[in-house]
Amino acid sequence: MTPVRSRDDPNPLAVRELDAGATPLQHLAWLIEAPVRTVALWGAGVLVNVPQPARFAVHKLILAQRRDPSGRLKRAKDLAQAKALVEALVEHDRFALDDALEDALTRGERGWATPIRRSLAELGLERFSAP
């Protein structure tokens, strides 16, 4: 996977260094901006960079609305993950959630705000949809 650089990006995009192709994904640049350093539990532990939990929750809200009808199980999983993250963030890092939602909701109506609001409404979390 790689962030979309332009609407004309081929699918997949050639990555010469890896002798492979990467699928350009919309919203990926925003998701991986300013990652959080943490430990993956493997052996003695491995340091990794992961997306901010609040941005990951918002990303899942968007993805859930972009799934085609054949992906209803993945859609349900996206919504469940988003809801769990939102509930945890409300309790432990409300400001990060508010910041991520505010930022995402102002990035465009069709590709960002509309799917976020639809997912929040579906989860009964409409109170978070005001920028």
Domain co-membership, 55 together with 114: yes
In 50-93, which residue ranges form alpha helices assigned H by DSSP? 53-66, 72-92
pLDDT at position 5: 74
- What's the number of domains the chain is made of? 2
- Residue 50 to residue 69: CA distance in whole angstroms: 29
Domain co-membership, 38 together with 16: yes
pLDDT at position 9: 67
> Which of 6, 3, 60 is CA-nearest to residue 27?
3
Q: Which domain holds residue 84?
A: 51-128
pLDDT tens digits along 14-39: 888 888 887 767 788 899 899 999 99
Domain co-membership, 30 together with 55: no
pLDDT tens digits along 71-127: 899 999 999 999 999 999 999 999 999 999 999 999 999 999 999 999 999 999 989
Q: State both tokens at 45.
A: 């532990």
pLDDT at position 131: 57
Residue 118, amino acid: R
| Contact present, 108 and 115 (Cβ < 8 Å) | no
Q: State both tokens at 73.
A: 């199980």
pLDDT at position 29: 87
- Residue 117 to residue 131: CA distance in whole angstroms: 10
The residues near 66 (Cβ < 8 Å, ≥ 6 apart) are 115
pLDDT at position 35: 95
Domain co-membership, 57 together with 100: yes
The residues near 21 (Cβ < 8 Å, ≥ 6 apart) are 12, 13, 14, 15
